């Protein structure tokens, strides 16, 4: 009897110390994530799900634009930079000058949706027409079969990854946005202005699409079919303005940051991607 009791005590002791060890091993700390405005809602959702699993880790998310995030990563004021464009050679050089070796992780896919007011009769455009609109070669909707109205171009500020991506992949690297283009400080500002302005055209990550904005179908060339941005079209790359979304860390990462990166790439993290209306890396099984 006595021995049996002692046995129970021992087991309980061992178990409790084991659970103590588990608690000590579990993650703690703070993760600072900064960058892409396009990704800010997605990362916030990831952060919430991650913090629910690891209550002792605090994840802070700020926007500001892809360039802002990468600049912060280089200067060491954040742990993870979110970027909707690839890091540039210039930035890599700046990073190595500061002693950092940025590591890249592809975490989701996105289509840049081109949007107009719902009453705009234009339903599709070619890449060529988009380039002509945004460089200012076409200034009236009439010229591409719309109503007789001056086009109001809406773009993002130059610190936005969407701005850079759109410039490189739609306008062409050597082309410039028309100086008349309004540079708005956020994707939401573009959504709001498009919803209230029948002459406006803008672009943002497809996650921002809403009932007040009409999303255009885009064709690669005149002879191709125009494709609307959808999950499959983005993953297969048939939607012409599709792009990967990245997270960057300063160097081979430590505990909590590493766990966060694993989490966002896991099936659980990719479910969140679909919930926020971006495109997961792997198709629905």
Partner 1 sequence: MPWHRCRERLIESAIRLCGVSSIAIVALIFLFLIKEGLGLLMTMPLAEFLGGQRWHPISEPPRFGILPLILGSLAVTAGATILSVPLGIASALFIAEIATGWTKEALKTGIELLAAIPSVVLGFIGMTILVPIVKTTFGLPTGLTAMTGSIMLAFMAMPTIVSITEDALVAVPKSHREAALALGATRWQMMFRILLPAAGSGIVAAVMLGIGRVIGETMAVMMVTGNAAVIPKTVLQPVRTMTATIAAEMGETVRGSDHYAALFAIGIVLFAISFAINMVADLILHRERS
Q: Which residues bind partner 1 (CB under 8 A)?
A: 64-65, 67-68, 71, 74-75, 90-91, 94, 149-152, 157-159, 164, 173-174, 176, 179-185, 193, 196-197, 199-200
Compute the distance between CA of residue 252 and CA of residue 101 in angstroms, rounded to an integer: 8
Write down the least CB distance from residue 163 to partner 1, Å. Answer: 8
Q: For residue 110, what are the β-bridge partners?
A: 243
Q: Give whichever of 74 and 112 is closer to partner 1, judged by the CB atom.
A: 74
- Contact, 72 vs 80, CB < 8 A? no
Count Cβ atoms within 10 A of the Cβ of residue 49 and give its class: 0-12 exposed, 13-18 middle, 19 or more buried: middle
Write down the least CB distance from residue 89 to partner 1, Å. Answer: 11
- Contact, 248 vs 260, CB < 8 A? no
Write down the least CB distance from residue 192 to partner 1, Å. Answer: 8
Write down the least CB distance from residue 190 to partner 1, Å. Answer: 12
CA distances 112 to 1, 15, 98, 169, 228, Å, are: 73, 53, 33, 11, 10
Q: Give whichever of 173 and 211 is closer to partner 1, judged by the CB atom.
A: 173
Q: For residue 83, what are the β-bridge partners?
A: 246
SS3 44: helix
Q: Give whichever of 81 and 264 is closer to partner 1, judged by the CB atom.
A: 81
Write down the least CB distance from residue 109 to partner 1, Å. Answer: 24
Write down the least CB distance from residue 185 to partner 1, Å. Answer: 7
Q: Give whichever of 108 and 151 is closer to partner 1, judged by the CB atom.
A: 151
- Contact, 56 vs 27, CB < 8 A? yes
Q: What is the DSSP secondary-structure string of 2-15?
A: HHHHHHHHHHHHHH
Q: Give whichever of 3 and 119 is closer to partner 1, judged by the CB atom.
A: 119
Q: Give whichever of 15 and 98 is closer to partner 1, judged by the CB atom.
A: 98
Angle between helices 40-53 and 255-265 (to 10 degrees): 110
């Amino acid at each position: 009897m006595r021995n049996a009791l002692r046995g129970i005590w021992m087991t309980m002791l061992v178990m409790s110390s084991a659970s103590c060890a588990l608690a000590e091993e579990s993650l703690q700390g703070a993760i600072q994530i900064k960058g892409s405005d396009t990704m800010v809602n997605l990362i916030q959702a990831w952060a919430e799900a991650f913090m629910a699993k690891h209550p002792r880790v605090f994840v802070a998310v700020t926007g500001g634009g892809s360039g802002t995030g990468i600049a912060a990563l280089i200067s060491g004021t954040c742990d993870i930079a979110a970027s909707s464009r690839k890091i540039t050679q210039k930035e890599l050089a700046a990073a190595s000058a500061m002693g950092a070796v940025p590591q890249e992780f592809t975490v989701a896919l996105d289509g840049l949706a081109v949007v107009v007011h719902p009453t705009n009769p234009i339903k599709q455009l070619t890449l060529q027409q988009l380039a002509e609109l945004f460089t200012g070669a076409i200034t009236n909707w009439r010229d591409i079969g719309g109503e007789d109205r001056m086009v109001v171009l809406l773009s993002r500020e130059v610190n936005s990854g969407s701005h850079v991506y759109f410039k490189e992949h739609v306008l062409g690297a050597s082309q410039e946005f028309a100086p008349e283009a309004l540079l708005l400080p956020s994707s939401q500002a573009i959504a709001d202005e498009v919803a209230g302005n029948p002459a406006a055209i803008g672009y943002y990550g497809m996650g921002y699409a809403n009932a007040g904005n009409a999303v255009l179908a885009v064709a690669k060339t005149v002879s191709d079919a125009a494709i609307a941005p959808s999950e499959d079209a983005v993953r297969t790359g048939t939607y012409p303005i599709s792009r990967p979304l990245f997270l960057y860390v300063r160097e081979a990462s430590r505990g909590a940051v590493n766990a966060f990166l694993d989490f966002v790439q896991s099936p659980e993290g990719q479910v969140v991607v679909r919930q926020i209306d971006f495109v997961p890396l792997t198709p629905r099984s």
